[in-house]
Structure 1
Amino acid sequence: MRHTILFSLLLFFLCASAQAQPKYEVRAAWVTAVYGLDWPQTKAITPASIRKQQAELIEILDKLKEANFNTVLFQTRTRGDVLYPSAIEPFNSILTGKVNGNPGYDPLAFAIEECHKRGMECHAWMVAIPLGNKKHVASLGSQSVTKRQRDICVPYKNEYFLNPAHPGTKEYLMKLVREVVSRYDIDGVHFDYLRYPEHAPRFPDSYDFRRYGKGRSLAEFRRDNLTEIVRYIYKGVKSLKPWVKVSTCPVGKYRDTSRYSSRGWNAFHTVYQDPQGWMGEGIQDQIYPMMYFQGNSFYPFALDWQEQSNGRQVIPGLGIYFLDPREGNWTRDEIDRQMYFTRKHQLAGQGHYRMKYLMDDTQGIYTELADNFYAYPALQPAMPWLDKVAPSAPSQLTATTANGYTELSWTAATDNDPKNAPLYVIYASNTYPVDTTLPENIVAQSIRGTGYTYASLYPWRNKRYFAVTAIDRYGNEGPAVQAVK
């Protein structure tokens, strides 16, 4: 009997791996800047060290591109400090070794440009509520929000936090978001720690509760406070650039399911988040629940997120850091099973925490993704709740080959919206017409011009035929134009 079960499991995974990879899937990685955990390792204090710091990020992005990742969650705000020149908060000291030290370039602009060169989205990952411990806050001096806007900050257990109950908190966070969304060609805003501290019955909001509670329980009051912040920011972003994705990474279990307990650690009761309510109300485009669990602590809760998603994109965060024996005792087959599961049940994709373990290829996780799960590229899933209209096809596609290079050029799609110019996807194969439904035929995506130079890494793998489609910032892909046979 045991051998029969093992054979059945093996057969299932072999069949699953043989299935066609999805053409649309979010493949994300968190690039952590706090403490320089993923980046940067070098302080930017001289022209040479600036170039080295930038080269470290390029190495990370090249690694992701080689494995067909398409989404970078780039840490943009840590705890009361940022990684771009801001009129509101100081530069993070990790860039130069000193608070508000100018690194000599704009790290966020650099990250966005380099992501876009590689056809990847860049999302600004921003820590929301925590402001750091007393030592960190003191290091920021007069530039700390605790000094600039004392009324929206509260101390709790040797740390400082923005007070979710104060109406000024949502406005302060939106000021930061407005800086990023209005100044940069960012693809998404991704909020971390948009929650209360866990198990915080004595969090100092009793005054606000008495003033604004209006008959609700304390738990309801706190959940409503976080929901109002999410709602305010979502609407604010959409008024600026409606295609910019708004997402959070909530605690990985919403609450107990009908059969499985969350064991006292969940979003709804422990930290007062209501992400399923946010998706139901339509004030999230994506969520990345931090599902750093194994077995029945993962699978039923992943299904619960998907069943309550209201059509929004659920991208489970996978705890690949537990593959490091210093972090946990996981073996890679646990991550493999979670990958198969998320695809089988048609979740929108996967996020990988953190980048270091991809760079180190811990237990072969990077190799497995590059060679198996992400062997072919994937496009971003569409967001039909925002826009359903696909752009028209580009026209007059020509392909000219010389010296091993093929120069493609085409005429832009005619329904070009100057505020939301379509991007282009390049397809190639050895059969005509090129089948644009197959991810293995994707050569490049998110091309921002009307030309592309194609050359295979191995000349004997060069393709003969080409096609191009237009795709808008909402993920709607139009019909293809084929190069003349």
Structure 2
Amino acid sequence: MRRPLFLLPLFLSLLLLSTGCGSRKSVVQKAAEKAYEANYKVPRREVRAVWFPTIYRSQYARMTVAELQSDLRQKVDRLAELGVNVIYFQVRPEADAWYYSPYEPWSRFLTGEQGRAPEPLWDPLAFMVKICHERFIELHAWINPYRAVADVGSAVAPGHPSRKHPEWFVRYGKQLLFDPGLPEVRAYTCRVVRDIVTRYDVDGIHLDDYFYPYPIAGETFDDDATYRRYGAAFASKGDWRRDNVTRLIRDLSRTIHSVKPYVQLGISPFGIYRNERTHPIGSRTAGLQNYDDLYADLLLWDEEGLIDYVVPQIYWNMGNKVADYTELVLWWSRHIHHAQLVVGQHVRRTMDGGQLHPKLVLAAEHTAGNAIWPGDDLWGVSYRGIADQLHRDYWPLPALLPERPYPATMEPFPEPERDAAVLRGSGRQELVWMDDLPLPPGQETAYYVVYCHKRGTSLRKALDPENIVGRTHDTRFRPLDLGGTFKVAFTITRIDRFGHEHVIAREIKAVL
């Protein structure tokens, strides 16, 4: 798809105003110009994620259980139609739960009153996992690790952790936050996450940008007592705070991967790591900084292999004077070496700026995909028609998720190709194949992919996304009846929980 060029002169003038001189400028400018004019090439493997927020969505609490289930199903159906393959579903907005939790109360955003169970009793997280997997979408449970009360003026249930352990919390502005410096807070958070990963078939645990709080003018985050108790070995309070967050990420990574190695830990940080004027490693930006202001050391987490993916929220437009989108995409792509890099995209700023095309071109060239904020702007009447534009011009074909490496302790299973055949009966044809052999944990089948192509096609060409005619959880598939005049062949693959694709049968001949 080629982008109309009528906005290009305005875009270039903004870019020239926003960037300094020197060699870095020319690299960024050339990348931006190229993206603005280039045709978009649909990647075969790509993350197409959407954030599904629940905080401050009061409409859900006004619905009956049947209405809410219908609403969730309709939204997931719409995202599946668009080609979305990952949903970050917010299940713990403020130390509460959109699922049955033995540790934290039901969310007020679910039932209207914190601690009140839905009637009749049901489990939204289990429901979402089921309907997402039925539609071949990964479900990542999105939690907020430190926010405990979003507004101290709201009622807090007796079973809330702030009632049980008030000594764990710090008030900051209108919020009540877990104190990240307390070891018991880290241990508690890991118990909550272990429970989710153990009991639910989630594909990932997702944390957003709320680590230490965003600075509020005139406010101080009062953790002096905790610092005196635990911070003596550190050169500064900033170093101690960063270590506190890193310890949590280490503990969460160990917790998750010890229970289910294939479950991912993903982070969606604020879009700037550091500014170059603060440290030479930084980007040519002038905004808030993860490292210095939120005490989140993303590069260290990536270097240590603690996280499976990172989704920096690059919510600025190309040419922005404070934080330029192109500069940041290139910066993150140079500095993330182990985790999958996905770009967080802001719907309204992108569409208002007329920059959907160049932004997605840059993301496709330099990263593993995109995450769209917020999902609210995609379902129903989408904002400025972005949903239809995504599906028509950028996501016209299904995309497999990028594969992730197996853990060092896991050996790939050398499974053989299987028997498969086209059976005919009752005027219909059905493609069938053998059930799975016993497979190692994590290498079990998530779903099967069926490709239809010309006979004698090479395997590489056979596995082109244009040849995908179906996905299924069963070992059978009914192809379309095209009148019995087309001689074709099928290739069947299976996708495991790490995203690896295994060919299980190929060149199964049929006449459609």
Distance in structure 1 (CA, Å) of the matches to 2:485 and 2:149: 52
Aligned to 2:384: 363
Aligned to 1:452: 477
From 197, 201, 220, the equivalent of 1:202 is 220
> Does 2:338 correspond to 1:311?
yes
> Does 2:403 correspond to 1:382?
yes
CA pair 399-336 structure 1, distance change in 2 beyond 3 A: same
The equivalences for 1:82-481 within 5 A come to 82-103=97-118, 104-135=121-152, 139-199=155-215, 202-213=220-231, 214-257=233-276, 260-296=283-319, 297-322=324-349, 330-331=352-353, 333-345=354-366, 347-359=367-379, 360-384=381-405, 386=407, 389=412, 392=415, 394-400=417-423, 406-414=429-437, 416-417=439-440, 420-433=443-456, 435-445=461-471, 447-455=472-480, 464-481=488-505
**Offset of 1:337 from its aligned partner?**
1.2
From 77, 90, 98, the equivalent of 1:75 is 90
For the Cα contact (< 8 Å) 2:451–2:470, is it kept in 1?
Answer: no
**Offset of 1:402 from its aligned partner?**
6.3
**Offset of 1:107 from its aligned partner?**
0.4
Which amino acid in 2 is paired with 1:89?
E
For the Cα contact (< 8 Å) 1:26–1:381, is it kept in 2?
Answer: yes
CA pair 404-124 structure 1, distance change in 2 beyond 3 A: farther
**Offset of 1:428 from its aligned partner?**
2.6
Which amino acid in 2 is paired with 1:280?
E
Aligned Cα root-mean-square deviation (Å): 3.0
**Offset of 1:194 from its aligned partner?**
4.2
**Offset of 1:334 from its aligned partner?**
1.2
Distance in structure 1 (CA, Å) of the matches to 2:370 and 2:258: 28
> Does 2:49 correspond to 1:28?
yes
Distance in structure 1 (CA, Å) of the matches to 2:202 and 2:254: 16
Which amino acid in 2 is paired with 1:379?
L
For the Cα contact (< 8 Å) 2:443–2:498, is it kept in 1?
Answer: no
Distance in structure 1 (CA, Å) of the matches to 2:243 and 2:70: 43
2:378 aligned counterpart, secondary structure: helix
What runs of 5+ residues in structure 1 fail to find an aligned partner? 325-329
In terms of mean alpha carbon deviation, does 231-240 or 303-312 score higher? 303-312
1:469 aligned counterpart, secondary structure: strand
Describe the superposition over 1:301-347 as per-residue Cα deviations: whole angstroms up to 9, x where unpaired: 122212121231011110013357xxxxx23x3122110001122x0
For the Cα contact (< 8 Å) 1:251–1:289, is it kept in 2?
Answer: yes
Which amino acid in 2 is paired with 1:239?
S
2:463 aligned counterpart, secondary structure: coil
Which amino acid in 2 is paired with 1:172?
Y
1:379 aligned counterpart, secondary structure: coil
1:35 aligned counterpart, secondary structure: coil
Distance in structure 1 (CA, Å) of the matches to 2:427 and 2:318: 50
Distance in structure 2 (CA, Å) of the matches to 1:302 and 1:106: 38
For the Cα contact (< 8 Å) 1:394–1:468, is it kept in 2?
Answer: no
For the Cα contact (< 8 Å) 2:451–2:491, is it kept in 1?
Answer: yes
For the Cα contact (< 8 Å) 1:391–1:477, is it kept in 2?
Answer: no
Distance in structure 1 (CA, Å) of the matches to 2:420 and 2:468: 16
Across the two proteins, how many residue pairs are aligned to each other? 465
What runs of 5+ residues in structure 2 fail to find an aligned partner? 13-29
In terms of mean alpha carbon deviation, does 240-249 or 166-175 score higher? 166-175
Distance in structure 2 (CA, Å) of the matches to 1:344 and 1:459: 41
Distance in structure 2 (CA, Å) of the matches to 1:159 and 1:11: 44
Distance in structure 1 (CA, Å) of the matches to 2:487 and 2:43: 22
CA pair 461-77 structure 1, distance change in 2 beyond 3 A: farther
Distance in structure 2 (CA, Å) of the matches to 1:363 and 1:461: 43
**Offset of 1:400 from its aligned partner?**
3.5
2:39 aligned counterpart, secondary structure: helix
Percent of matched pairs sharing the same residue: 26
**Offset of 1:260 from its aligned partner?**
4.9
In terms of mean alpha carbon deviation, does 192-201 or 236-245 score higher? 192-201
CA pair 405-426 structure 1, distance change in 2 beyond 3 A: farther
1:408 aligned counterpart, secondary structure: strand
2:108 aligned counterpart, secondary structure: coil
For the Cα contact (< 8 Å) 1:429–1:463, is it kept in 2?
Answer: no
1:34 aligned counterpart, secondary structure: coil
CA pair 433-90 structure 1, distance change in 2 beyond 3 A: farther
CA pair 368-134 structure 1, distance change in 2 beyond 3 A: closer
CA pair 240-459 structure 1, distance change in 2 beyond 3 A: farther
CA pair 123-12 structure 1, distance change in 2 beyond 3 A: closer
**Offset of 1:185 from its aligned partner?**
0.6
Distance in structure 2 (CA, Å) of the matches to 1:199 and 1:292: 19
CA pair 16-385 structure 1, distance change in 2 beyond 3 A: farther
**Offset of 1:401 from its aligned partner?**
5.6
CA pair 418-383 structure 1, distance change in 2 beyond 3 A: closer
CA pair 388-461 structure 1, distance change in 2 beyond 3 A: farther
Which amino acid in 2 is paired with 1:314?
L
For the Cα contact (< 8 Å) 1:28–1:351, is it kept in 2?
Answer: yes
Rg comparison, structure with higher value:
2
In terms of mean alpha carbon deviation, does 410-419 or 61-70 score higher? 410-419
1:36 aligned counterpart, secondary structure: coil
Aligned to 2:15: none
Which amino acid in 1 is paired with 2:502?
G
**Offset of 1:206 from its aligned partner?**
1.0
Distance in structure 1 (CA, Å) of the matches to 2:376 and 2:108: 20
Distance in structure 2 (CA, Å) of the matches to 1:299 and 1:462: 47
Distance in structure 2 (CA, Å) of the matches to 1:368 and 1:462: 33
Which amino acid in 2 is paired with 1:443?
V
**Offset of 1:211 from its aligned partner?**
2.0
Distance in structure 2 (CA, Å) of the matches to 1:171 and 1:211: 18
1:27 aligned counterpart, secondary structure: strand
Which amino acid in 1 is paired with 2:203?
D
Which amino acid in 1 is paired with 2:112?
G
Distance in structure 1 (CA, Å) of the matches to 2:368 and 2:237: 34
Distance in structure 2 (CA, Å) of the matches to 1:199 and 1:187: 33
